[in-house]
Structure 1
Amino acid sequence: MTTAQHPAPALTWGLRGRGPADVPVAADGPPDPPEQGLLGSTGRGIRVCVVDSGVERDHPMVGPVDRSWRVFKDADGVHVEETEEGDLCGHGTACAGIIRRTAPDCEISSVRVLGDRFSGSGDVLLEGIRWAVRQRFDVVNLSLSTTHDRFVDELRRLADEAYFQGTVIVAAAHNTRVESFPWRFSSVISVGSHQEDDPDLHLYNPEPPVEFFAPGQKVQVAWLGGTSIRSSGNSYATPFIAGLCARILSSSPRLTPFQLKNALYLSAANVRVHGSR
């Protein structure tokens, strides 16, 4: 069993006695045009973590799962340990299958924070997100949220930590008009669903806080026992955007989270760039 350690990130308050040459930054430009980066890459080399109910190994719609952990709470606190156990309710497998379809060559790992019948606690969710962020995954898919205000401050700190280190959290908005977290934070990529027939269409929302819409209505998703079902919800729109993030990063791995948002924005089907044909 491994208890997660949480080293404090280094802080830089100012640049004193150094100039531009002392802080060089190797950077990638956004895909030009952005569609080429989305369509021309497969996610190869990008590590995606599904924080959810686990992922069923070797499901035909998911394929290989690199590593799996579970978060659990006992009398001594909240802990993380590696596990061979898969999915307990199907939700995480569904999300992983969409990521695999969208970015077929990415590396998928799982952190299980939900149990049977979608049971879970805020403490376990926080630890799962913290673990994924501090493992420095490239993309974290979070198709769940909490409405409890007492977790907001710590969730915000984790979301900011991820943002500043270059880990992209893609988070589902609540399926109803409920304010929940962490999708509500500007440091994450928030996702709702649209009902268009095109399974590869994503849209930018001109009236955030939900920033992007993706396919989420009557989607065929992987389910337990190697099966599939059709289901609806923002949960299934979110891994589509997570997969697109993996594809963009596969071609431009040094993009920052704000550059990645911009690439998603420019490639959205409803965005018309002024001066372009």
Structure 2
Amino acid sequence: MTTSGRQTPGLTWGLRGKGPADVPVEADDPPDGTEGGLLGGTGRGIRVCVVDSGVERDHPMVGPVAQSWRVFKDDDEVRVEETAEGDSCGHGTACAGIIRRIAPDCELSSVRVLGERFSGSGDVLLEGIRWAVRQRFDVVNLSLSTSRDRFVEELRRLADEAYFQQTVIVASAHNTHVESFPWRFSSVISVGSHQEDDPDLHLYNPEPPVEFFAPGQGVQVAWLGGTSIRSSGNSYATPLIAGLCARILSSRPRLTPFQLKNALYLSAANVRVHGRR
């Protein structure tokens, strides 16, 4: 199993016979929301996984893909294997291109859970997320969700597992008013879209469960065959936030997920911090 540079101690149920000096924690200050605070990193050293339809290798808007896997269902068994296949429908490449633009030096990998015409199953999605979490990626971009109730509890457990090991899941809200998961969980960073023209503008939503808004209308995105198209949806807002997470973590790798949410909150264009000019 691949591990990231951020190590997490084992779960402790109680502190007995020890004091503060026995459990030291090295921490980074969160970015202060100013340009230097948020934009100090480029994603270098941060491992980002796109769980989607695959990613087209060496697309001019994506660049190198470190590793690629695909999840497939064989009879009743769901398995993961390395693959040289690219993208089945373009969606994953579009997301990867946005992440690369925002965090140009991050290490991008792909887990393919969607087939042609955006087809997929809850079992395959669940295994793809589980795989990404247990590979201990720093950031997982999830521009898709499931509305099937039978997957909710296992998804919740995986989201909590990611949160406690400091893997950040950035998840897209459904494009319509539909109850779906895992974006509804507070342990992930949930994203919807706004209609502003600024391609880098992100906003905090004062009325969650969607926590942040990013550009999602008429976005220029990478597509199959080295091309690009304009497309709309929360799917394309999500990787911008995932890219920002990679940038922040590259300069402050010890930030916890809740500190990272706070950094995104403080740097949102609509959040006015008292005392800041």
- The TM-score, its normalising length taken from structure 1, stands at 0.95
- Measure the CA separation in 1 of the matches of 2:87 and 2:39: 30
- Measure the CA separation in 1 of the matches of 2:170 and 2:258: 13
Q: Which residue of 1 aligns with 2:85?
A: 85
Instruction: Work out whether 1:136 is the aligned partner of 2:136.
Output: yes
- Measure the CA separation in 2 of the matches of 1:246 and 1:37: 14
Paired residues of 1:37 and 1:251 also in contact (CA < 8 A):
no
- Measure the CA separation in 2 of the matches of 1:113 and 1:102: 24
Superposed structure 1 runs of 4+ greater than 6 Å apart: none
Indicate the SS of the match to 1:255.
coil
Alignment of 1:1-277 (within 5 A): 10-75=10-75, 77-277=77-277
Deviation of 1:33 after TM superposition, in Å, equals: 4.4
- Measure the CA separation in 1 of the matches of 2:193 and 2:219: 11
Change (3 A) 1:36 1:146: same
Indicate the SS of the match to 1:87.
coil
Deviation of 1:179 after TM superposition, in Å, equals: 1.1
Identity among equivalent pairs (%): 89
- Measure the CA separation in 2 of the matches of 1:62 and 1:114: 19
Indicate the SS of the match to 1:241.
helix
- Measure the CA separation in 2 of the matches of 1:227 and 1:38: 31
User: 1:184-233 CA distances to partner (integer Å, 9 max, x unpaired)?
Assistant: 00000000000001111000000000000000100000000000000000
Unaligned runs of 5+ in 2: 2-8
Letter in 2 for 1:93: T
Unaligned runs of 5+ in 1: 3-8
- Measure the CA separation in 2 of the matches of 1:54 and 1:37: 33
Paired residues of 2:32 and 2:266 also in contact (CA < 8 A):
no
User: 1:86-131 CA distances to partner (integer Å, 9 max, x unpaired)?
Assistant: 0000000000000000101100000000011111110110000000
User: 1:28-52 CA distances to partner (integer Å, 9 max, x unpaired)?
Assistant: 1112344323322211110000000
- The TM-score, its normalising length taken from structure 2, stands at 0.95
Deviation of 1:167 after TM superposition, in Å, equals: 0.3
Paired residues of 1:34 and 1:263 also in contact (CA < 8 A):
no
Paired residues of 1:87 and 1:224 also in contact (CA < 8 A):
yes
Deviation of 1:27 after TM superposition, in Å, equals: 0.7
Paired residues of 1:193 and 1:217 also in contact (CA < 8 A):
yes
Instruction: Choose 239-248 or 37-46, whichever is displaced more.
Output: 37-46
- Measure the CA separation in 2 of the matches of 1:73 and 1:237: 29
- Measure the CA separation in 2 of the matches of 1:34 and 1:184: 29
Indicate the SS of the match to 1:70.
strand
Letter in 2 for 1:214: A
Aligned residues: 270
